[in-house]
Amino acid sequence: MMKINPSASPLYMLSCLVMLLLLPLPSLLAADPDPLQDFCVADLSASTSVNGFLCKPASNVSSDDFFFDGLSKEGNTTNVFGSRVTAANVLSFPGLNTLGSSINRVDFAPGGINPPHSHPRASETGVVISGQLLVGFVTTGNVYFSKVISAGQIFVIPRGLVHFQKNVGQEKALAFTSFNSQLPGADVLPLNLFASTPPIPNDVLTKAFQVGDDVVNSIKSKFGS
């Protein structure tokens, strides 16, 4: 009778392949690297620069480092977009350092928008607290997904994709959004393209959008450049 060498069986080789594919998965899925200790409250004034922030000495850490009341107040929506993002990221809430998590408050005036933008370092989940929001995002293949949602309903924006929210109700609207990064970053497209420092040359923008200088100058003027 022929002896089957288990290490040569197709099933064994398949499981080896699966193991090999799965091994690096956690590090690929995490938007921020995993922490190496319980906490690392950021010392924002440290002069050494690392990927993230240095930790305060543990003996200096107190309860206040893990609480933040910066999102308790309504944001001022008197601006061209009619919305205000108030961020609790590592810069305002140093206790988030190395924990791969942050949260924003977004207030909307009636008709206000959080203009098309993307977060290079995080996926986003959001919950509507009040009002009606049209939430939309576009894939890298230019497919548009959207829905109008209201209080208690949630949405997800895959990492890096361009998205927006618009208050389509008659009243003010409020949402909270959370990120799997301590500092998700935001590329706000109108500002990236038309209000950068120094400015993107007009001939790049006129060719990209197939419009004349007058249109580009007009858009730039709205954002003070």
Ligand X SMILES: *[C@@H]1O[C@H](CO)[C@@H](O)[C@H](O)[C@H]1NC(C)=O
Name the site residues for ligand X (rule: CB under 6 A).
Answer: 43, 56-57, 60, 76, 78
- Give the integer Cα–Cα distance in Å for 72 and 111: 23
Residue 25 near residue 34 (C-beta atoms within 8 A): no
Minimal distance in Å, beta carbon 101 to ligand X? Answer: 22
Smallest gap from Cβ 184 to ligand X, in A, equals 25
The least distance separating ligand X from the CB of residue 132, rounded to whole angstroms, comes to 23
Give the nearer residue to ligand X in terms of CB position, either 42 or 173: 42
Query: What does the alpha-carbon distance between residue 53 and residue 98 come to, in Å, rounded to a whole number?
Result: 8
Residue placing its CB nearer to ligand X in the complex, 26 or 57: 57
> How far from chain centre, in Å, is Cα 92?
15
CB of 79 to ligand X, least distance (A): 6
In which residue are the tokens 């924006």 written?
A: 157
Residue (65 or 187) nearer to ligand X, CB: 65
Closest to ligand X by CB, 27 or 78: 78
Report the alpha-carbon distance of residue 194 to residue 219 in Å, rounded.
7
Measured between alpha carbons, how far is residue 68 from residues 12, 75, 87, 192 in Å? 52, 16, 11, 29
